[in-house]
Amino acid sequence: MKKIWKKIKNSRIVKVLFARKAVVVCLIILALMILSAVFAPLVSPYDPYKQDLKSMLLGISPEHWLGTDPMGRDLLSRIIYGGRVSFIVGLVSVLVAGGIGMILGLIAGMAGGIIDAFIMRVTDAMMSVPMIIMALFLGSILGKGLGNICLAIGISMIPSYARVTRGQVLTVREMDYITAGTLCGASKLKNTLVHILPNCISANIVLMTMNLGNAILNEAALSFLGMGINPPTASWGSMVNDGYKYMSSNPVIAIAPGVFIMIVVLCFNMVGDALRDAMDPKLRGTLGKKKKSRKKETA
Amino acid sequence: MNKKLFKMIGKRIVQSVIVLFIVTLLVFLLMQLVPGDPIVNFLGANATEEQIAHYTEMFGYDQPALVQYGKWIAGLFHGEMGRSVALQKDITEVIFQRLGVTLSIVLPAFVLAVVFGVVLGILAAKNRGSRLDTVISFFANIGMSMPMFWFGMLLIMLFALKLGILPTSGLGNKADGMWQYISHLILPMTVLAMGPLAQFTRQTRSSMLEVIRQDYVTTAKAKGVTKKALTFRHQLRNALIPIITVMGVQLGGMIGGTVLVESIFVVPGLGNLMITAIKGRDFMVVENGVLIIAIAVAVCNLVVDILYGIIDPRIRND
């Protein structure tokens, strides 16, 4: 156990991630937000669905930190619960996209020929339709609701994973250790699963982290357009939409959920960038230099 | 040399046509799965069965799927996209009129994003580690993370409601003067440009930083090349390939982004048309709309490929 901990602590990725102060801050913010979303019933001061028509559209006060919405529901509580939707959609859709995309990429890269051409042309076709329109389109087939939105956004993101995986497979396939594996009697399937698949995972994880923010933005956009999560479930996108009408009288209702979307997406983007840099062999060794140059400038 | 470029362009056009064909097939197949009926949606709950049957036959929705698809594709070759059930109009006419509106927002927004993005990216890279770099990078990160509809709302709040200098929504009439027309475009354009601008800034910054370290830049400096020539001829030109790739992707994304922008600012463009068509189950409009958008994206990709060839002779000769 101690050994594993030491290995994690000394790994390059962890070192690079924790070398940047901004990334550490982002990780802390994300951890806090995810925890508050998970333990929403314990953290949120009010029931997010309880309507209280006597306290409609209240401003910021000690009782209601962010005020209340047009139905008298506590805004902060709704935002905390809305985080659940965002995080679930982000995570699940990225996993759906990564999982299916990786399988398709593996098949395309290993099979080659007509199968490869077919899979790649279909992904090309999917990529030529902008992601948000693809998600809208798939959403209209699947219907509203959390699970369907995850699926719609996930499917619309598949092509990039399939492409990245295929590219990786094509490089790894030619490596000497694959030939060695074949010589030792490993079947094509074993080679693919044991030697090629693990080499595709890191690139996909980076892409997944970088896409988390996009997935959350897309969910918010779909909910804003009224084609996402069903009311009364709190979703940050639909909350902005609800607050839109009260823009001049009570702007907090629309501004606050948007700020939360922005912070979460920003944090995921920063972590994703750092992870990409950490896993990019081209940038290996540049980290120390950066630090030095920074010191020089501050001095 | 030009022969090779033309050959490459020809090859790419053929590929694009194949991809577009697959798009039509995919969209059509998926559309069969959409629950709901355009005719029932259009006629409302009080329609008699006879009326529904009459309209279904009139619009050809009673025919087998394969025949419907064949008719659609055959029609496309004649420049006919069919008739919209909900709008009771010719789709070709509606779509191209809407496309014009959408492009009048997308193209200026794209130019805005490219110019500011590249300039800010160069500034950040040239002053790496300085306060200017930090500020630019910070705002680029924010710009990428902001929900577009929310940013639009903030701008409406500030410029339309508080300051009252720009209109909240709609489209200006050219007959009312140029300012009327432009003032309606400023906010939607800014909102649409925000994300791509941030992307271009980040991409320009990182690819410039990669180029700045190269030996040929040191050589050029040692030869006494002027600063301007160094930046534009030696650094930017070599940094352009990844920037152009991002431009192609972003222009496609911006066409998709109009769905949001047009619904916030109530602009009667293609994005708005798509949303009403999807909600109203106006199948033919959705199919043709997706196709038009896919064509636009394919054209963007083609232009990007041609630009690669022009900028980098190595790619052209591959």
Read off the pLDDT of residues A131-161 as tens digits, 9 standing for 90 and up.
888 888 888 888 888 889 999 999 999 999 9
Judging contacts by C-beta atoms under 8 Å, the chain B residues touching residue A131 are 253, 256
- The total number of structural domains in chain B stands at 1
Q: Do A130 and B257 touch (CB under 8 A)?
A: yes
| pLDDT of res. B151 | 93
Which tens digit of pLDDT belongs to each residue from A214-272?
A: 899 999 898 888 888 877 788 888 888 888 888 878 888 889 899 999 999 999 988 88
> Which of A105-119, B40-54, B295-309 has the highest average model confidence (pLDDT)?
A105-119
* Interface predicted TM-score of the whole assembly (ipTM), two decimals: 0.85
Mean pLDDT, residues A168-174 taken together = 87
Q: Any CB–CB contact under 8 A between B149 and chain A?
A: yes
Q: Which of A136, A258, A269 is opposite residue B147, by nearest beta carbon?
A: A258
According to CATH, the superfamily of the domain at A75-286 is: MetI-like (1.10.3720.10)
Residue A291, pLDDT above cutoff 50 = no
Nearest CA in chain A to B17: A125
From B259, B260, B294, residue closest to A128, measured CB to CB: B294
Query: So what's the pLDDT on residue A298?
Result: 40
Q: What is the mean pLDDT of chain B?
A: 85
Using a CB-CB cut-off of 8 Å, the residues of chain B touching A265 are: 144-147
Q: Is B286 on the interface with A (CB under 8 A)?
A: yes
Q: Return the H-helix or E-strand segment holding A230.
A: none
Measured in degrees and rounded to the nearest 5, phi and psi for residue A74 equal: -70, 125
| A224 vs B35, B144, B149: nearest CB | B149
Interchain proximity A141–B157, CB inside 8 Å? no
CB contact under 8 A, A225 and B26: no
Residue with the larger pLDDT of the pair B2 and B292: B292
Beta carbon pairs, A and B, within 8 Å = 136
Nearest CA in chain B to A129: B294
* Two structure tokens written together for B318: 């591959």
- B135 shares contact with chain A (CB less than 8 Å): no
- Residue B127: pLDDT above 50? yes
Range of the domain at B155: 2-317
| Distance in Å, alpha carbon of A294 to nearest chain B alpha carbon | 6
Collapsing DSSP states into helix, strand and coil, what is residue A232?
A: coil
Among the partner residues B128, B153, B259, nearest to A136 by beta-carbon distance? B259
CA dist B195 and A217 (Å) reads: 12
What CATH number should be reported for the domain holding residue B211?
1.10.3720.10
pLDDT at A299 over 70: no
Q: Which of A21, A29, A120, A137 to mutate to test the interface with B (most CBs of B within 10 A)?
A: A137
Q: Does B146 touch chain A (CB under 8 A)?
A: yes
Question: What is the reported pLDDT for B317?
Answer: 57
| One-letter amino acid of A6 | K
Chain B CA closest to residue A264: B145
Which chain B residues contact residue A128 at CB under 8 A? 19-20, 23, 252, 294, 297-298, 301
Question: Closest partner residue to A130 among B19, B23, B297, by Cβ?
Answer: B297
Mutation pick from B31, B150, B163 vs chain A, by most beta carbons of A within 10 Å, is B150
